[in-house]
């Protein structure tokens, strides 16, 4: 139940984010009318439409996104008419009779109660098609879970809870605006100017949405405060209630409260084990265990890895057992040979269960990469942490569980990690580009001149100018549900991004094939801003399926245009990540 409350509160907070600005005029255009017949149907229509479209996009793939884009164009036309008739009432009088009637209805001309409700609901549907909220942590959590878990009532109701939260905050704003407008409209002069101001605001809102300002320009302005608030809510509502608070070892970094979250599940179902024979729950009784759910192309997992390796080395002799559970996101991560190579390249020495069939993942009811579960000597889960960060707190949990298990003379303090390459800590404060999938199943913000030709070879041409977080293909590609494959060289991918680091998950279609590429930033070689998998000229090679760090900027972070051109065919591109 708490997760639905979390989604609702996340929706309420959207009133503070800049991406809500373009739809505010559509809502306030009804501020002078009865709430039950105008404002309420509009807000309900908006909430239902947004939740239905978002749910369908998460499950249905790229065709739903394209269908919704057509609906957005229709909605923009509806509101453009509304704005013009509010701004220029004489325009309606000069138009043909059908247009006069349509304009009068949009302005709220006298009609029956049922007609008024229906018209407001239709305008709410239009608003729902146009609304693109800033993707804060809570909405990101909901959409990611929907995409990973597939169709289900839970994800649909979470999206509806989020939309209802946004509608609630807009309803409160509508009530406040109603009082102001009622006072001002006592004067006919004010009434005319209110109508014209609202008309101009509606047209400006349509223009902002048509130009993409709602999802790129406005998103640049600070919604960081709401994102921080959402992150605190995730931790506050998502954590279990503590069974007993334990005294911190060091007051500077306190031990989080520990609870009894149930017994550790059995570790059956792994297709193979690396660095160890298969381990069982009974064998691990009497040991403190850290379970690390990860996958080797996940940038968040890679950045957490140095800490997990450090804990394994530091507390091995004190009775700690670290187990990595490799659960794949992409099909190539299910291959044992690929996982073995990644474990070797990453120098992981603790046991790793290859969970390609999601058996251990499901036994823990896990939903996240990375996810850490901390288990005491009695085989009980006492703490968990999802995602990156709070490593000192996690290490204090390990220390406390080891002490409770009888460990003596534990080293003070926490490990100090200084990682390089893709494992280095991110600059999240200045990251405005989201994880972006290339396969049509979860692709967003695609901006080639041609639509996706699913599972079919197609020659693509990038649009001449990309806005922030848009990306495009160039050349002959075959786009599948998970990845795009270059059929004929040369071929390129372009991305307009804002982040210090840019990574791309790549691999060859044929094992052992080497694929050459070259990257540029704003049309020139990256120089000192090259990543660990490129040189200053931008040159690099794809030699296996993994995450490649292509850009690491040394100076101030700003909007940049990234381009990678492949000089050989047969490359697979899966997903961009940033940090």
Q: What is the pLDDT of residues 38-72, one digit of tens each?
A: 778 888 887 887 777 666 655 544 444 444 455 55
Please tell me the least confidently modeled range out of 22-26, 55-59, 239-243, 372-376.
Answer: 239-243
Lowest mean pLDDT among 113-117, 125-129, 183-187: 183-187
Q: Give the 3-state secondary structure of residue 244.
A: strand
Write down the residue that tokens 């251990």 correspond to: 360
Q: Which of 47-56, 85-94, 284-293, 451-460 has the lowest mean pLDDT?
A: 85-94
User: pLDDT by residue (tens digit) across 164-176?
Assistant: 887 887 787 777 7
Same domain, 218 and 338: no
Q: What pLDDT, on the 0 to 100 scale, is given for residue 216?
A: 43
Q: How confident is the model over 496-513, as a mean pLDDT?
A: 92
On whether both 216 and 252 belong to a single domain, the answer is: no
* pLDDT score of 165: 80
Average pLDDT over residues 262-266: 95
Q: What is the pLDDT of residue 106?
A: 44
Measured between alpha carbons, how far is 26 from 83 in angstroms, rounded to an integer?
Answer: 9
Q: Which long-range contacts (CB under 8 A, 24 or more apart) does 450-459 make?
A: 451/66, 452/62, 452/479, 453/479, 454/62, 454/479, 454/480, 454/481, 455/479, 455/480, 455/481, 457/487
Residue 212: its pLDDT value, please?
A: 52
Non-local (6+) Cβ contacts of 434 within 8 A are: 135, 140, 469, 578
Average the pLDDT over 227-251 and give the result. Answer: 41
Domain with residue 538: its CATH number is 2.60.120.260
Query: How much is the average pLDDT of 392-414?
Result: 91
563 domain residue, yes or no = yes
Q: Which of 400, 423, 446 represents a domain boundary (last residue)? A: 423
Asked, for residue 375, whether it belongs to a domain, the answer is yes
Whether residue 237 lies inside any domain: the answer is no
pLDDT of 44 reads 85
Give the count of domains, the chain: 3
Q: What is the pLDDT of residue 45?
A: 82
Q: Which residue has the higher pLDDT, 14 or 413?
A: 413
Cα–Cα–Cα angle for 426, 135, 295, nearest 5°? Answer: 50
If asked whether residues 178 and 197 sit together in one domain, one would say: yes
Whether residues 457 and 550 fall in one domain:
yes
Cα–Cα dist 327/360, whole Å: 9
pLDDT band at 85 (very low <50, low <70, confident <90, very high): low
221: left (phi over 0), alpha (psi -120 to 50) or beta: beta
246 pLDDT above the threshold of 50: no
pLDDT value, residue 166: 78
| Interval 73-82 mean pLDDT | 62
Indicate whether 82 and 150 sit together in one domain: yes
- pLDDT level of residue 516 (50, 70, 90 thresholds): very high
Residue 37 is given by DSSP the state I
| Domain end position, chosen among 197, 232, 267 | 232
Specify if 309 maps to a domain.
yes
Residue 389, CB-side half-sphere exposure with 13 Å CA sphere:
8
Alpha carbons 340 and 493: distance in angstroms, whole number: 29
Phi/psi zone of residue 151: left (φ > 0), alpha (ψ -120 to 50 degrees), beta?
Answer: beta
Higher pLDDT, 118 or 1: 118
Neighbours of 190 (CB within 10 A): 14
pLDDT digits (tens, 9 = 90+) for 291-312: 999 999 999 999 999 999 999 9
Q: Are residues 213 and 250 in the same domain?
A: no
**Could you tell me if 266 and 379 lie in one domain?**
yes
Mean pLDDT of 506-525: 93
Select from 205, 232, 259 the last residue of a domain. Answer: 232
Answer whether 0.75 is exceeded by the pTM.
no
SS3 state of residue 387: coil
Query: Is the pLDDT assigned to residue 494 strictly greater than 50?
Result: yes
Task: Give the residue with greater pLDDT, 550 vs 175.
Answer: 550
**pLDDT bracket for residue 159 (50, 70, 90):** confident
277: which DSSP letter?
S
User: Are 62 and 144 found together in one domain?
Assistant: yes
- Asked whether residue 412 falls in the same domain as residue 438, the answer is no
Question: Does 225 lie in the same domain as 185?
Answer: yes
Lowest mean pLDDT across 102-111, 351-360, 388-397: 102-111
**Tens digit of pLDDT for each residue in 185-205?**
554 455 556 556 756 766 776
The predicted pLDDT at position 84 comes to 72
* 248 pLDDT more than 80: no
Task: Let me know if residue 367 belongs to a domain.
Answer: yes
- State the residue range of the domain holding 122: 2-232
97 falls within a domain:
yes
556-574 confidence digits (pLDDT tens): 999 999 999 999 999 999 9
Residue 238 in any domain: the answer is no
Determine how β-strand 501-508 pairs with β-strand 484-497: unpaired
Residue 528's Cβ-count burial label (10 Å; 0-12, 13-18, 19+) is exposed
Cα distances from 370 to residues 68, 297, 391, in angstroms, run 32, 11, 12
Of 371 and 44, the structure prediction assigns the larger pLDDT to: 371
**pLDDT recorded at residue 48:** 82
Considering the domain architecture, whether residues 416 and 451 belong to the same structural domain is answered as: no
| CA geometry: angle 497, 523, 509, nearest 5 deg | 70
Q: Residue 61 has what pLDDT?
A: 43
Please say whether the beta carbons of 499 and 431 come within 8 A.
Answer: yes
CATH for 263: 3.40.30.10
Return the higher-pLDDT residue of 191 and 341. 341
Task: Give the number of other CB atoms < 10 A from CB of residue 480.
Answer: 17
Q: Any idea which of 137-141, 161-165, 312-316 has the lowest mean pLDDT? A: 137-141
- Do 412 and 450 lie in one domain? The reply is no
Cβ(557)–Cβ(427) below 8 Å: yes
Identify the pLDDT of residue 222. 42
pLDDT class for 411, splitting at 50, 70, 90? confident
For the chain, what is the mean pLDDT? 79
**Structural domain includes residue 239:** no
Closest CA to 468 of 566, 561, 568: 561
């Amino acid at each position: 139940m708490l997760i639905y409350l979390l989604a609702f509160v996340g929706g309420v907070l959207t009133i503070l984010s800049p991406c809500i600005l373009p739809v505010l005029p559509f809502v306030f255009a009804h501020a002078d009318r009865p709430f039950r017949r105008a404002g309420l149907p509009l807000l309900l229509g908006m909430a239902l439409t947004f939740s239905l479209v978002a749910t369908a996009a998460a499950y249905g793939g790229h065709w739903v996104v394209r269908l919704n884009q057509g609906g957005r164009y229709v909605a923009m036309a509806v509101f453009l008419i509304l704005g013009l008739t509010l701004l220029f009432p004489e325009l309606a009088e000069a138009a043909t009779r059908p247009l006069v009637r349509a304009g009068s209805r949009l302005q709220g001309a006298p009609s029956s109660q049922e007609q008024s409700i229906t018209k407001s609901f239709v305008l709410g549907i239009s608003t729902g098609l146009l609304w693109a909220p800033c993707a804060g942590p809570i909405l990101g959590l909901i959409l990611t879970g929907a995409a990973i878990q597939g169709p289900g009532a839970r994800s649909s109701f979470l999206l509806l809870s989020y939309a209802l939260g946004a509608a609630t905050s807009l309803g409160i704003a509508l009530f406040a605006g109603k009082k102001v407008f009622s006072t001002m409209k006592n004067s006919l002069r004010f009434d005319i100017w209110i109508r014209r101001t609202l008309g101009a605001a509606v047209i400006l809102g349509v223009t902002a949405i048509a130009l993409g300002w709602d999802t790129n320009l406005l998103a640049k302005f600070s919604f960081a405060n709401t994102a921080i608030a959402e992150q605190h809510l995730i931790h506050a509502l998502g954590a279990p209630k503590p069974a007993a608070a334990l005294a911190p070892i060091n007051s500077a970094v306190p031990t989080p409260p520990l609870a009894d979250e149930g017994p550790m599940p059995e570790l059956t179902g792994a297709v193979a084990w690396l660095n160890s024979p298969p381990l069982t729950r009974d064998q691990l009784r009497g040991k403190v265990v850290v379970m690390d759910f990860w996958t080797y192309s996940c940038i968040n997992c890679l950045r957490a890895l140095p800490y997990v390796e450090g804990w394994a080395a530091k507390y091995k002799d004190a009775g700690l057992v670290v187990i990595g559970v490799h659960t794949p996101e992409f099909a190539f991560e299910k291959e044992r040979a690929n996982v073995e190579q990644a474990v070797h390249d990453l120098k992981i020495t603790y046991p790793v269960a290859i969970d390609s069939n999601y058996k251990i993942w499901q036994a823990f009811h896990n939903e996240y990469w990375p996810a850490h579960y901390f288990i005491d000597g009695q085989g009980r889960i006492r703490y968990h942490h999802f995602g990156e960060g709070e490593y000192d707190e996690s290490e204090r949990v390990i220390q406390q569980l080891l002490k409770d298990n009888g460990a003596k003379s534990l080293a003070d303090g926490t490990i100090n990690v200084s990682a390089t390459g893709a494992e280095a800590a991110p600059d999240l404060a200045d990251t405005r580009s989201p994880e972006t999938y290339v396969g049509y199943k979860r692709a967003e913000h695609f901006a080639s001149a041609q639509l996706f030709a699913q599972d079919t070879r197609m020659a693509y041409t990038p649009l001449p100018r990309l806005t922030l977080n848009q990306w495009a293909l160039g050349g002959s590609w075959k786009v599948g549900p998970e990845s795009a494959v270059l059929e004929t060289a040369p071929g390129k991918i372009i991305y307009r991004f804002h982040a210090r680091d840019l990574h791309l998950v790549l691999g060859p279609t044929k094992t052992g094939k080497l694929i050459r590429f070259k990257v540029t930033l704003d049309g020139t070689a990256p120089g000192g801003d090259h990543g660990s998998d490129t040189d200053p000229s931008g040159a690099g090679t794809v030699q296996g399926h993994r995450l490649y760090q292509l850009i690491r900027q040394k100076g101030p972070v700003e909007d940049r245009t990234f381009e990678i051109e492949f000089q050989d065919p047969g490359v697979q591109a899966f997903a961009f990540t940033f940090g």
